[in-house]
Chains A and B, each alone.
Chain A
Amino acid sequence: MFDYDVIILGGGLAYVGAEVLKNAGLKVAIVEREASHLGGVCLHEGCIPTKLYLFEARKVYELKNSALISQEGLRLNLKALREKKQRLTKGLRDQIEKLLKGVDFIYGYGELVEPHVVQVEGKRISGRHIIINTGKSYPLEPNGNHLLDLEEVPPNLKLAGDDPIILEFACMFALMGSSVELYFDEGAVDFMHPSIKSKLTKMLKDLSIQLRPLSEAQKDDFYWINKRLPNTQCLKVDLSKGERGHLLVDRKYETSLKDHYAVGDVNGIAELAHAARLQAISVALSLTKGKGFYTPSYKVPYVLYTQPLSYAKVGYTRKEIQEKGLEFREKSVSFRAFAVGSIYHTEDGIAFLYFDRENFLIGAEVFGRDAGELISVLTVGIFSQLNLDMLLKTPLPHPTLSETLFLRLL
């Protein structure tokens, strides 16, 4: 009756769900606009390439700023880096097709023209279940995508936008040696602990990033990193939408239309690749085993990969706890106090752990080198409902930054 058991509209990270569906013997199709863009924003313009760029930029910065290593005329070959990015993403993209052997890849602009029916450039295919995985895009051009296609490090760079991700780009190019003007309102990072926010602002200043109000940004010669908007123009079927046009879903990620699911950025629950991955797997499990799972967004860790120090949070932030009016205890640890803080140049780093009245870990914010790695141990702590007593007794390897997180809990 239907051409496919499941059609996934959009070839982003939710392809991980296709693997589960395929292995369960279901007939699956993935519709992706551009063959070369399989893997989505995460692989091509988001998580993966920005981490590659940030890692290389950090090397240059560290060698340049080391008091112990003398190195003249250090320069990052941006053209070569771009080529490396292309090789990397192409390789990973090809691996997806290999991994999903047996799934039909249909390349072309797909539209949900009526319930259960996707039309790809004139051709109609039907699916018993539809998973909408169309993601989001930057509203303005040029934007972050174009920054990753530059072949020379620009001497001057003007960035403007309201998405905190802009800070990653600002740091990336400042570390490479650009003089960066950043048109960004600090209010956008008010969710951070005030002391982390002031350390972050200081770090930007130390990198000679000139911070100006967003309202002063002009139209021309700017790169725009604004909050991305859900791609819903390809959905010709009436689906309930919420704030900023995100598709509304229930705890099973089902939209207002039965058998039509929405996962990833497009549902607006958490604009994070790791959340999208879990959502896709949850939908795949509920289609194959009848039971998925729901991850509350506050439990999904968030990382802002600024450099040299980055920010990460999981659970409730201090601001959220205060807004809820909860009684809580805050334990802070400053990395300056430890040998590793000095060895790994993270003296300005700090971590805050929040405990509820009964001493259960309910949230954490970290500002430090590789905060994204540090937050993992705290995420596990929150998921396994650890309390002060257990954290105190958990041995972590010495000397590491992770270890220090639990050294000031007494």
Chain B
Amino acid sequence: MDYEVLMPQFSDTMEKGKIVRWLKKEGDYVERGEVIAEIEAEKAVMELQSFKKGMIKRIVAQEGQEVEVGKPIAIMELGERVQEVKVSEAPPPQSTKVEEKKPPEVKPQVIEKKIELPPGFASPYARLLAKEKGLELQELQKEGTIPSPAHAKDIENYLKERYFTPKALELLKDYEIDAGELIKEFPQTKIDEDLLLSYVEKMGIPKKIPVSSVQKSLIANLSKSFLAPHYHIHEVFDLSLIPWDKEITLTHWLIKIVGDAMQHFERLRAIYREDYYLIYPSSNVGLAIAVGDELYAPVIKEVNKKGLREIAQEVRKLREKSEKGALSPEDIGGATLTISNLGMFGIRSFDAIIPYGQVCIIAVGAQDQEGKAHINFTFDHRVVNGFHAALFVKHLKEKVLDKNYIKMLKKGS
């Protein structure tokens, strides 16, 4: 009678499991309760015991293969051990014949019984491996070098890892190289940083740089934003009247002027929800800040109520927090418009993508000799139509040339 050994569900959340190792092979006889395989699921390795006794007829899932819970991984033929019965009952003259037929798997079992396995909390196979390699399993587990409970895989990893200097081992994580492959390439060698790097160069192996959680959410949001219907307005602004300095930079001035302008255009303070718009009373302006690989857009809230100096101070504080990666959800939420300035790098003109959920981003280019700068706007068409946008941009262009307004801001700062 055939019986399917199914991938067991070790926990409620387990969906599939990986065969780490088969401890029995096709043709092996298995007693009830005997461990037949090691299975990895949800980062833990567990032993699979047989519920039935019989012979393993066929292994369906190979080592390293992932199998869904409830799918067959092996076929067993249930029943008593046939050959062993023969051996015990058979008269002496036939014994030579039987010995020929004797399955080879009996041998390891005999050895296992003889060997006194080292102490330590580990699977029998792991303990056998530790014994073979002369490892003080229990001591190494106490030291934390080998995890507890330990599985054969842990012992194998330990045996591989010692071929690397600690630094090389750290470096190994940056490349998709199998440790075993390197050990084969450089037999009997302690692999150090230099050797690893020269191998990487020779083989042209790319370096793996993990995407941070901040970047992941940024990437997801950018992709969503880009799908929203949007359009650009490209304009040249005369910013020659703005008396910016080191203390209060052009960016600080623009945050203030844009924030004030937003008060006259409620759609620039809006958030789009399928059936309605939410209009914020205050002008909350985001500012794009790059820190290494990360891009943050902390928000200066209620810009319309704040003076230039106050804005400058807040921007400085938010920049410090960004550099430390210490921005709170409050620091980055609530903006409807963001300013991105690449002018300080001499970039003449560029377009930007609206941060997800906002309605506009303003991309500021470098000022030329006469104080003129390209400023490009990206609008979400679902919220701000061309007409509104044109009025907003026109208003801004007038404001930056309004001497009295500029004077007032400077005084107010």
Contact = CB atoms under 8 A, between A and B. Distances in A.
Nearest to B139: A296
A326 interface: yes
Interface string A171-206: 000000000000000000000000000000000000
A327 B166 CA distance: 26
Contact of A384 (B143, B166, B189): B166
5 contacts: A296-B142, A298-B136, A356-B134, A358-B159, A386-B190
B142 A251 contact: yes
Contacts of B404: none
A333 B149 CA distance: 40
Interface residues of A, number: 23
A326 B134 contact: yes
A390 B190 contact: yes
A296 B143 contact: yes
Contacts of A358: 159, 188
B92 interface: no
A388 B188 CA distance: 8
Interface in A356-410: 356-360, 362, 384-390
Interface of B: 133-134, 136, 139-140, 142-144, 159, 162-163, 165-166, 188-190, 192
Most chain B beta carbons < 10 A, residue from A293, A326, A385: A385
A300 to B, nearest CB: 11
Contacts of A296: 136, 139-140, 142-143
A294 B140 CA distance: 9
Contact of B188 (A293, A298, A359, A362): A359
Most chain A beta carbons < 10 A, residue from B134, B163, B166, B189: B134
Please list the 3 inter-chain residue pairs (A to B) with the smallest Cβ-Cβ separation, ordered nearest first: A390-B190, A296-B139, A326-B134
Nearest to A294: B142
A360 B134 contact: no
Nearest to A291: B144
Given A251-B142, A357-B133, A360-B162, 9 more contacts: A294-B142, A295-B143, A296-B136, A296-B143, A298-B136, A356-B134, A387-B189, A389-B190, A390-B165
Contacts of A293: 143-144
Contacts of A387: 162-163, 188-190
Contacts of B190: 385-387, 389-390
Chain B interface helix/strand/loop/mixed: loop
A359 B133 CA distance: 12
A363 to B, nearest CB: 11
Contacts of A362: 134
A384 B188 contact: no
A56 to B, nearest CB: 39
A324 interface: yes
A327 B190 CA distance: 20
Given A356-B134, A360-B162, A385-B162, A294 B144 contact: yes
A384 B164 CA distance: 10
A59 to B, nearest CB: 41
Nearest to B158: A385
Nearest to B134: A326
A326 B131 CA distance: 9
Interface string A280-320: 00000000000001111010000000000000000000000
A217 B143 CA distance: 43
Contacts of A326: 134
Contacts of B192: 390
Contacts of A327: 134
B188 A294 contact: no
Nearest to B138: A296
Nearest to A388: B188
Contacts of A386: 190
Nearest to B163: A387
Contacts of B162: 360, 385, 387
Contact of A389 (B140, B166, B188): B188
A321 B136 CA distance: 11
Interface string A325-367: 0110000000000000000000000000000111110100000
B96 to A, nearest CB: 34
A388 B163 CA distance: 11
A28 B345 CA distance: 57
